[in-house]
Chain A
Amino acid sequence: MPHWLEQVRTELVRRKLPPRYVARLMSELSDHITDLTEDSMSMDACEVRDAVRPMGAPGDIADSAAKEYRSVRFAGRHPIIAFVAMPIVVLPLLWVGAIMAFVLIAKLAGFGEGGELTIDNFPAWLSRSLAVLIFGMVLVPIGLAAWFFCRLARKAQIGRRWPLIACLLLGVIGGMAFFDAALPGTNQKGLLHDTKFSSEVLDQNTKHGAVTMGFGFGLSKYPHWWQIVQFSVPIAIGGMFVWHQVAAGRRRFAT
């Protein structure tokens, strides 16, 4: 019996399963074999050696353990980390990435230090397009994050509550976010919200442009339209995900 147990341990370690998981499984297998041999006390020595045969082959047990362990993903084992903490961290990181991409593209296009390009001669449609692009830089990360956490929930086979919590958090953070950018030129306001930058920034604005990002709710009576959009997009994605799950469940067992 010790030989069989050692074979199982070897197979489990070979599949890179965590030591705690292996230890627990080995403990329970050992208890099971003790019960099995106690039930077989009348057997002779050969039969006792064969008593582990009902347990299955060590490789099969290790395969089953690896499959079951990995089917419960990190998100399934730690839903609070995955669906509460991670959205709070992931969304700002995505925004930082979007801002860096925007600045890099602007530099490559010829804006900023060393470049000659300004928006002074841009037609109105191009300025409006840039405003849409800037709004997209805020909105697309929100939508991507909501889609990602819904997909994570589906893969982790976790309940609908958790992706909805993640999408609600993304909606609140998204609704609070304010972002604007000004490209080099004599127009000293942000492209999206006509943000007036500070005087120190204004002096640089003609050459370098400026980016601003903030969080919070303004003092206006009603939320701005862009706040409503930024709040609604992840809620809508979460809602669509739940509806799709419910519909798929009903289709599977429709009679």
Chain B
Amino acid sequence: MAKRVTNPAFLNGVPELLMLRLLAARPMYGYELVQAIRRSTGGTFEFGEGCVYPILHRLESQGVLKSTRESVGGRERVVYRVTAKGKALLAETVGSWRRVVAAVDHALQGGERGHAALA
């Protein structure tokens, strides 16, 4: 079994990317968002669920998300949705991420040498 790595530096920005992607699909409240992250990543990322709220608040103060108090399932909950600025940021970040992943993949597969550099 692969050894679990905690808080690797190369994952900076990944929680925000996942949150924006999922909230762009549909607005969610915090608990719902945490479950969606867990499902969509196949349980690969584990994190303290309470830590998701400071990130949501920061994204909201940056104008990337907005929150409203709504009745969901018979209870009042704070629901987050992505703004137009957030959608633009998401598109830019996804593009950057895909370029980075493709470049790193290329290097791990041997790059210009054409053979695997890493097993």
Contacts and interface: CB of A to CB of B under 8 A. Distances in A.
A56 interface: yes
A252 B96 CA distance: 9
Interface residues of B, number: 24
A29 B53 contact: yes
A253 B29 contact: no
Nearest to B46: A54
Interface in A25-61: 25, 27-29, 31-32, 34-36, 54-57, 60-61
Contact of B103 (A55, A56, A68, A255): A255
B51 interface: yes
A24 interface: yes
Given A57-B48, A72-B62, A25 B54 contact: yes
Interface in B10-42: 29-31, 34
A182 interface: no
B55 interface: yes
Nearest to B95: A253
Contact of B51 (A21, A64, A253): A64
Sort chain A's interface into a size bin: 20 to 34
Contacts of A157: 62
Contacts of A25: 53-54, 57
Nearest to B69: A27
Contact of B54 (A67, A252, A253): A67
A69 B31 contact: no
B78 A31 contact: yes
Contacts of B78: 27-28, 31
A65 B54 contact: yes
Q: Which of B58, B100, B102 has the most CB of A within 10 A?
A: B58
B15 to A, nearest CB: 10
Given A77-B61, A255-B99, A8 B55 contact: no
> Does more than half of chain A's interface fall in helix, strand or loop, or is it mixed?
helix
A69 B48 CA distance: 18
Nearest to B47: A56
Nearest to A28: B53
A25 B51 CA distance: 10
B58 A55 contact: no
Contacts of B53: 25, 28-29, 32, 65
A61 B50 CA distance: 6
Contact of A29 (B50, B96, B103): B50
A76 B63 CA distance: 10
B66 interface: no
16 contacts: A25-B57, A27-B78, A32-B34, A35-B31, A54-B48, A64-B54, A65-B53, A67-B54, A68-B54, A68-B57, A69-B58, A72-B58, A72-B61, A157-B62, A252-B96, A253-B99
Q: Which 3 A-B pairs have the closest CB atoms?
A: A56-B48, A68-B54, A35-B31
